[in-house]
Amino acid sequence: MGSDEYPTEVNIRGYKPNMAVHVGQVKKACSIISKAKRPLFLLGGGVSISGANQLMMDLIEKTGIPVVTTLMGKGAVDTRHPLYLGNVGIHGGYAPNVALTDCDVMISIGTRFNDRITGKLSTFAQHCKIIHIDVDAASISKNIKVDIPIVADAKLAIEKLLEYIEPHDLGDWPEQLQQLKAERPVTQADEEGLTPQTVIDYINNHYDRPIVTTDVGQNQLWTTQFLEVQGQHQMLTSGGLGTMGYGFPAALGAQMGNPDKRVFAICGDGGVQMNIQEFATAMHYRLPVTLIVLNNGFLGNVRQWQQLFYDKRYACTNLMMDESSIVTRDIIDNDEFEYVPDFVKLAEAYGAKAMRITKVEDIEKGFQLADTFKNGPTLLEFIIPTELNVLPMVPAGKSLSDMLLKDKK
């Protein structure tokens, strides 16, 4: 066949996932769960994709089993529920990772056990039986060998679990984990001044079920740690692919699809520049998205690795004018501003509203500006400490029990 010839018929093998639930496997799973002393739900993005969020809430209410989520599983259940412990994995909280390590039965729904969740594979879930529910058969026992595989749509599987499962006494297991979460919270309260948590807490306290998108990097991880989410599709982020530049255009799409919703994009000063030109789109369609730039003057996630594991040999991560220095300092006057670019001027060049915030007491002013401007986007630039890290953290190749809880300066 020549280069300018095309076949008259093209046959491509299709993909048709198995949606039905094998009731026998569900009954086996329920039998194992009924004997568990320390069961745990591990929820991934598949729960929200299948629209099973309310059913999942019903299941944890019925069983009293504690819950942890992956990055993409955020929103699978209401994060304010007392049985919700938080996110797991290399940037998971202390209590969630301890729960994942100490449980005797893990019920995993809609997850693929990637290395961001498991840490060192050989030490993951050594002392528990694993029930894995996933619509993709290729994900079952791919990374982690499981005991009870259930290939099915998450929503249909959860419906069957609700039908067959019976609650039983879990002793003080849930209370132990809740106490551990209270004793070892994920927090930046010890940090002085303006932090990502203070910004995200403002959103939690002042807006009802907003849609929040993130970029990729420290901004994504901080948002996952601190944002309160009540349901599916309230937090949109790029997980598996980790696409820098995702946050702002994703927010525009979310606003177009939900014109009556409050939409925020939380981005870093590096990733946001990959699609900063979408201000033109936002202005053209008058989309009142609030773009939050957490500006630490660095490609923060890479800088964090360079600090913690490469003796602070910083290379190609400093985005400020003065590449020779890295210090946590008070913001300098605007006429001496050395961050590149000047995001306020950049946003204003497109006709958007913008404000630079350097103090905690000015956070409200920034959000008030965004709330009152309805004819286009608003950029709020928050100047945060340059060496603020995402913690806890599990170093590469280490087990979930090897968490770094505090900075090693």
Domain assignment of residue 276, yes or no? yes
Three-state DSSP class for 344? Answer: helix
Co-location of 205 and 340 in the same domain: yes
For residue 102, give the nearest of 58, 59, 40, 57 by alpha carbon: 40
Is it true that the peptide bond before 7 is cis, omega within 30 degrees of 0?
Answer: no
CA distance 380 to 194: 13
Whether residues 288 and 370 fall in one domain = yes
Residues 100 and 202 in one domain: no
72 and 134 within one domain: yes
List the one residue out of 91, 149, 100, 148 whose CA is nearest residue 126: 100
Indicate whether 337 and 207 sit together in one domain.
Answer: yes
287 domain-assigned: yes
* 171 and 222 assigned to the same domain: no
Residue range(s) defining the domain that contains residue 255: 196-383
AA identity, residue 217:
G
Look at residue 17 and tell me if it is in a domain: no
Residue type, position 165, single letter: I
Structure tokens at 164: 């067959």
What does the pLDDT read at residue 190? Answer: 86
* The two structure tokens encoding residue 7: 């076949």
pLDDT of residue 192: 84
The whole-angstrom separation of Cα 330 and Cα 102 is 43
CB under 8 Å, gap of 24 or more: what pairs does 307-311 form?
A: 307/387, 307/389, 308/389, 308/393, 308/395, 308/404, 308/408, 309/395, 309/396
Query: Which of 181, 204, 239 corresponds to the end of one domain?
Result: 181
Q: Are 53 and 47 in contact (CB under 8 A)?
A: yes
Task: Report how far residue 69's alpha carbon sits from residue 54's, in angstroms, rounded to the nearest whole number.
Answer: 15
Alpha-carbon separation of residue 363 from 195, 356, 358, 360 (angstroms) = 11, 10, 8, 6
Listed residues 119, 151, 181: the one ending a domain: 181
**Is 259 inside a domain boundary?**
yes
Same domain, 58 and 156: yes
Q: Provide the pLDDT for residue 329.
A: 44
Residue 323: the pLDDT is 56
Shared domain for 200 and 258, answered yes or no, is yes
> CATH no. for residue 121?
3.40.50.1220
Distance CA 300, CA 266 (A): 14
CA 62, CA 48: separation in Å to the nearest integer? 19
Q: How far apart are CA 244 and CA 237, in angstroms?
A: 10
Listed in sequence order, the DSSP H helices in 238-361 are: 247-257, 279-284, 300-309, 343-349
Q: Are residues 347 and 372 in the same domain?
A: yes
Assess if residue 267 is contained within a domain.
Answer: yes
Are residues 137 and 255 both part of a single domain?
A: no
Q: Which helix (H) or strand (E) holds 265?
A: strand 263-268
Q: How many domains does the chain have?
A: 2
The dihedral region occupied by 351, where left means phi > 0, alpha psi between -120 and 50, and beta the remainder, is: left
CATH number for the domain including 323? 3.40.50.970
Q: Is residue 396 one of the residues assigned to a domain?
A: no
| CA dist., res. 191 & res. 189, Å (int) | 5
Contact 395, 309 (CB under 8 A): yes
Q: Which amino acid is at 194?
A: L
3-state secondary structure of 222: helix
Give this prediction's pTM: 0.91
According to the model, what pLDDT value does residue 334 have? 45
Spatial contact of 338 and 326, defined as CB atoms under 8 Å apart: no
Please name every residue paired with 213 in a beta bridge, in sequence order, or none if there are none: 236, 265
Q: Rounded to an integer, what distance in angstroms lies between the CA atom of residue 396 and that of residue 119?
A: 7
Sign of CA dihedral 399, 314, 294, 234: negative
Residues 154 and 242 in one domain: no
In a domain, 82, yes or no: yes
Widest CA span of the chain, in angstroms?
A: 72
Q: List per-residue pLDDT tens for the chain, 409 residues long.
A: 566 788 888 888 887 877 889 999 999 999 999 999 999 999 999 999 999 999 999 999 999 999 999 999 999 999 999 999 999 999 999 999 999 999 999 999 999 999 999 999 999 988 999 999 999 999 999 999 999 999 999 999 999 999 999 999 999 999 999 999 999 999 998 888 899 999 999 999 999 999 999 999 999 999 999 999 998 899 999 998 899 999 999 999 999 999 999 999 999 999 999 999 999 999 999 999 999 999 999 898 999 999 999 998 988 888 876 655 554 444 444 445 577 899 999 999 999 999 999 999 999 999 999 999 999 999 999 999 999 999 999 999 999 999 998 775 5
Euclidean distance between CA atoms 357 and 380, whole angstroms: 7
* Structural domain includes residue 389: no
Q: Could you tell me if 208 and 176 lie in one domain?
A: no
pLDDT of res. 333: 45
